Each structure stands twice: as structure tokens, then as C-alpha cells.
């Protein structure tokens, strides 16, 4: 069997990111960065020291793609439970 550094399934990528700052992309044009404390098979997440970034596209619908006015709202939270079904992507810190 592989040892602690082994990646046998995608979830191991998450397991190796525990206690690290991760980037999470969510449905609804939201992104989070925070310290990952726990997760489960649904990808429910417990994060601390979280910053949420919300992308709001304003302006006319007829604007060419990429030229809509994008407003970015940010807010910070100490501790957060993220329901797994909203998660699109989790990216661990780059370890090189």
C-alpha cells in the first residue's frame, strides 16, 4: 500500500491540504480562501480565517463578453461551514 504521501484517489489531494490555506471555487461566482480544517465525502468543508470573493457582473446585458463591469465584493469570516454541493473546485496551496 502507498504511504502517507500517496495519492490513490482524488480526495487524497484534499487530505494532504488539511491545515493549509486552500482556494475554493463555488457555484454562484463565489470564491473562498481559508485554512482547511475538515472535510467529508460530500466535500462539506470547515474553513477558518476565510475571505469570500463574490463576483457581480453589472451593466448592460448587451455588453460584449469580457467587457461587462465586474464588481467584486469581499468579506471575511472567522469560521465557515461550506455545504459540499456548492463546491466546484478546490485547489491546495502549490507545493513545489
Partner 1 sequence: MDGTPPPPEATPPPPPPVTSGSPTEFLKNVVGKRVVVRLTSGVDYLGMFFSRLRVLSCLDGYMNIALEQTEEHVNGTVTNRYGDAFIRGNNVLYISAAEPL
- Residue 26 in 3-state DSSP? strand
Q: Is 68 in the site for partner 1 (CB under 8 A)?
A: no
Whole-angstrom Cα distance, residue 31 to residue 10?
Answer: 20
Q: Is 23 in the site for partner 1 (CB under 8 A)?
A: yes
Among 4, 65, 75, 78, binds partner 1 (CB under 8 A): 65
What lies within 8 Å, CB to CB, of 15 at 6+ separation is none
Q: Is 64 in the site for partner 1 (CB under 8 A)?
A: no
Whole-angstrom Cα distance, residue 53 to residue 67?
Answer: 19
The string of DSSP letters for 33-70 reads EEEEEEE-TT--EEEEEEEEEEEEEES-TTSPTT-SEE
Q: For residues 76 and 83, which CB has a smaller minimum distance to partner 1 in the complex?
A: 83
Q: How far is the CB of 22 from partner 1 (least distance, A)?
A: 9
Q: Is 69 in the site for partner 1 (CB under 8 A)?
A: no
Q: Is 57 in the site for partner 1 (CB under 8 A)?
A: no
Residues that bind partner 1 (CB under 8 A): 2, 6-14, 23, 43, 65-66, 84-85, 87-96
Amino acid at each position: 500500500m502507498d504511504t502517507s504521501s500517496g495519492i490513490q484517489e482524488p480526495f487524497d489531494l484534499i487530505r494532504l491540504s488539511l491545515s493549509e490555506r486552500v482556494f475554493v471555487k463555488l457555484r454562484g461566482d463565489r470564491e473562498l480562501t481559508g485554512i482547511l480544517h475538515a472535510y467529508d465525502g460530500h466535500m462539506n468543508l470547515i474553513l477558518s480565517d476565510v475571505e469570500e470573493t463574490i463576483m457581480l457582473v453589472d451593466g448592460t446585458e448587451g455588453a460584449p463578453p469580457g467587457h461587462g463591469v465586474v464588481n467584486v465584493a469581499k468579506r471575511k469570516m472567522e469560521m465557515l461551514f461550506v455545504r459540499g454541493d456548492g463546491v466546484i473546485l478546490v485547489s491546495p496551496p502549490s507545493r513545489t
